[in-house]
Structure 1
Amino acid sequence: MPLQKFQIYDVIVDIIPGIVFSALLIPLIIPSSRETNIPAVGGGVAIAIVLLAVGYVLGRVVHSFSSLFDSIVRATIRFLEARLMRGRLAGPISQARNKLIPIFGYHYTVEDHIQEAMSPITPFTLKTGSSYRLIEKINKKYEIDVDSLDHGEYLEEYEHFSHSLLYNKQVLYRRYEILATFFRSMYVLCFIFAIAYTISAYQVVGLFERPLLWNHVVKDYGTQAGILVGSLLLLSFIFAHQKRKFSNRRGRALIYDSLIELEKSDEQ
C-alpha cells in the first residue's frame, strides 16, 4: 500500500498495534547476550518506512488473531453463563452479573440492539423508533418481505446491508468502529504477552538453547519485570472495558447512521 494511501483507520487499527506487537515480541525472541548488537537500518526516513511496513503487516495479523480470540472469549462466557444459570447458583450469579455489567460495560451487537428495541417489553425510545424505521425503509426500498423480523438470520442481513451502506463514509459509526477494533487488538496483545512473559520468566518454554533477553531482564530487574507484567494485565482489563464500551456504541450508531443515510438518499 503506497504511503499516501494510508488512512487513519490503517494507522490506529493496524500500524500502532503492529508496532506494539513488535516491541513486546523482541524480548521473547532475542537470545540474552550483553554483546548483542542491533543492526543499523539507516536514516530517519528509512527507519520510519521500515516501522510502517512491519507495523502494518504485523498489525493485520494482530487484527485477525484478536478478532478470533475475542470471539472465543465471548462464546466461552456465554457458554459458562448458560450452564451456570441452570443450577442452584442461578440467582446469585444473575445478581452478580447485573452488578458487574455496569463495571465491565455493555457489549451489544447490532442484532442485540435491534432485538432489544423491538422487544414488546422495551419502552419506546429513540432506538426503538429508529430500528423500526430502518427495517421498514430497507424492506420497502428493496421490496423485501420478511415474516419474522426477530429471526437472527434476517437481522444479520440487515447488519451486513448497513455495513455496506456506511462503508468509507465519515459517520459516527466509523469512529466507533476504529476505536472498538483498536482496543480489541490492544487488550488481546497485553493479555497474551503478560502470560507469555510469565511463562518465559520461569523458562517453562525455551525457543533457544541459551536464555532469552527477557530472562536476563527478569534476573537483573525482577521487581521491574513483575511490575511490567502486572501493568500489562491492568492495561488488558482497561482496554477490554473500552472495547466493550465502544462496541456497544458502534452497534447503536450503525442503526442511526444507516437510517440517516437512507433518508438522505430518499431526498435526492
Structure 2
Amino acid sequence: MYSVNYHRAASVADAAKLVKAGDAKLLSGGMTLIPAMKTRLAAPSDLVDLSKIKELQGVKVSGKTVTIGAATTHFDVANDEKLKKACPALVHLASLIGDPAVRHRGTIGGSIANNDPAADYPAALLALGATIVTNKRQIAADKFFMGLFETSLKEGEIVTAVTFTAPAKAAYEKFRNPASRYAIVGVFVAKGKDGVSVAVTGAGDDGVFRSKEIEAALAKNFAASALEGVKVPAKNLMTDIHASADYRANLIAVMAKRAVAAANA
C-alpha cells in the first residue's frame, strides 16, 4: 500500500471540509475502496473516514416512513427489529450480503455511493422508489444511479441517509456467486400505493435497472403465475465468466417468480 493521509471525521460538516483536501476519498466500510486501492485502481492522497459519525448511523421507522443512516452497517440493517416489521425484504437482502466480516464493516451508504453493478442495495432502493439524502440535497433513486460505478453525486457531496415508504409487499431473491456472494442476478419486487416496481442488479451492462416486462405482467396480476411465458430480452445484459446474457435473462424471470412468491407468502 502506498502512503496516504488518514482523517477521522467527527461530523458531516467536518468530513465535507476534509474531503476538499488534495485528491481525497470518503471511506465508510471500505469494502469497495480498499480493494481498489490495493490494485491501484484508486490512489487517493487522503482518506476521510465517516464510520464514527453518530449522525450517520441507525434505522428510524416513523409510521410507514423508513430512514437509514448512510453509515449503518449491513449487519445492523439485517438485525433491526423495527425494520423487520416495516420492510422485511430489506432485512433479508442485507442478511445475504457477503459474509459476517463484510456485513459488520460494509455500510448502505458506501454500497450505493460506489454503485457496484453486482451490489444488492441499488435494486432495493430503485424498486422502493427511495430518496437518497446528501449533505446538499435529496435525490430520487431513479436519478441517482447513472451507470456502472456511476452516480449523480457531485464532488464533495456526501450521502447521509436513505429514506423510503414501506411497501405493502416486497421481496428480494438473488442467484449469487458461491465465492464472493455477489449477485449474478438479483431481483427486488415491491408493491405499494404507486403500483409494482421490479429492479434488477448483477445483470445489466449499465448497472441496476427496472424490468418493464415483469412490471407490466405483475401490474395485471401480482402472482408468480403471471410471469409464466414472460421473456426478458438478453440485449443490454452482461456476459462474463459467470454467466452469459441469455442465461441471465432466464435467471431474471426465475428470480422474479421466487420474489413474488416470497412477497405473497
TM range (shorter): under 0.3
More relative contact order in 1 or in 2 (CA 8 Å, sep 6+)?
Answer: 1
TM-score (normalised: structure 1): 0.24
TM-score (normalised: structure 2): 0.24
Greater share of residues in strand: 2
